[in-house]
Amino acid sequence: MELNITGQTRLAALYAQPARHSISPAMHTKAFEATGTDAVYLSFDVAPEDLAASMTAVRTLGMMGVNLSMPHKMAVIPFLDELSPAAQLIGAVNTVVNEDGRLVGHNTDGVGFMRSLQDIDVDIIGKEICIIGAGGAATAIASQAAIDGVKRIYVFNRQDEFMEKFQQKAAEIAATTAADVVTVDLEADYHQLAECLKKCVLLVNATGVGMKPHDDLMPIKNGEVLHEDLAVYDVIYNPRETKLLRTAREKGLKTANGLGMLLYQGAEAFRLWTGKEMPVEIIKPLVDNS
Ligand code: NAP
């Protein structure tokens, strides 16, 4: 690999803990090369107590920006000068852009999810969707879907602290967008899932249920609730095909795993930093083989 680092080369980075397993350095460095952008991307293991100093470094070192992952997505907010409307609504930031010393926080997870639906030719604008899960991924997806014009979003999760936080978020989403958000207790009211799904064009699993090594699990009891006009999306990408996706595919439904969301959240961060489109046809094989 040829690297032409000069005095002008700029730095983008991932701050996370752990950070070393991430695909982001390979994705962005390849995209910088392919678009002739004089920049590199590195990952840094940043402990929570070092986040303040690390964010100061973004300014003092004139970094292009950073991605944030666990455990910094919410903790970073006090160190920023401004939030995008989506980051504000989601209450979490995965991308910071250094605009001449002004640090602007964005959340590109929801944008990545929405963009990835185009790959399976699923249109949810003006329609109803159902999400299982009430954590970070569910919040990003529900918020961006509402911003983009999805009509109604059903969120199923057991009634616990994730759900309580999400219910506050649902009120904010309803107050700031035209979408309705309905929350349902997945354990107590499982029977409502089939009724809600009848009105929906998309079911999203936004939990870790079905992830390796528990890939014999799925977040629904069986495939009976999956009707023929439904598409099924799983944010999990390890395994590539979860039990939920296999069940849906065997019923002839359109399916997608979380690799598209991963790819396009990166593409949106790249666009925010460089003003250029990420050449996704070059980056996609990297992500697929990660
Ligand atoms: P999170 O904030 O910790 O939320 C986890 C959610 O999953 C909660 O709603 C939790 O509900 C539910 N859950 C139920 N059973 C679970 C189990 N056995 N294991 C894990 N979660 C369970 O996590 P998150 O950031 O939303 O991430 C959720 C999933 O999305 C993870 O698999 C993550 O890898 C994936 N993800 C993918 C992308 C992508 O780009 N494709 C991006 C972000 C996240 P309870 O209240 O029932 O516990």
pLDDT of residue 290: 85
User: Atom of ligand 1 at shortest distance to CA of 265?
Assistant: 40
Distance CA 222, CA 194 (A): 11
What share of the chain has pLDDT > 70, as a percent?
99
pLDDT of residue 2: 66
Q: Does residue 276 carry a catalytic annotation?
A: no
CA of 133 to the centre of ligand 1 (A): 7
For 82-133, write each residue's pLDDT tens digit: 999 999 999 999 999 999 999 999 999 999 999 999 999 999 999 999 999 9
pLDDT of residue 16: 98
Ligand 1 pocket list (CB less than 6 A): 109, 133-138, 157-158, 160, 162, 206-209, 211, 235-237, 258, 261-262, 265
CA of 286 to the centre of ligand 1 (A): 24
CA of 211 to the centre of ligand 1 (A): 10
Distance CA 50, CA 63 (A): 17
pLDDT of residue 3: 72
The structure tokens listed for 41 are 């991307």
Length of the chain: 290
| pLDDT exceeds 80 at position 155 | yes
| pLDDT exceeds 60 at position 1 | no
Distance CA 260, CA 113 (A): 7
| pLDDT exceeds 90 at position 136 | yes
pLDDT of residue 84: 97
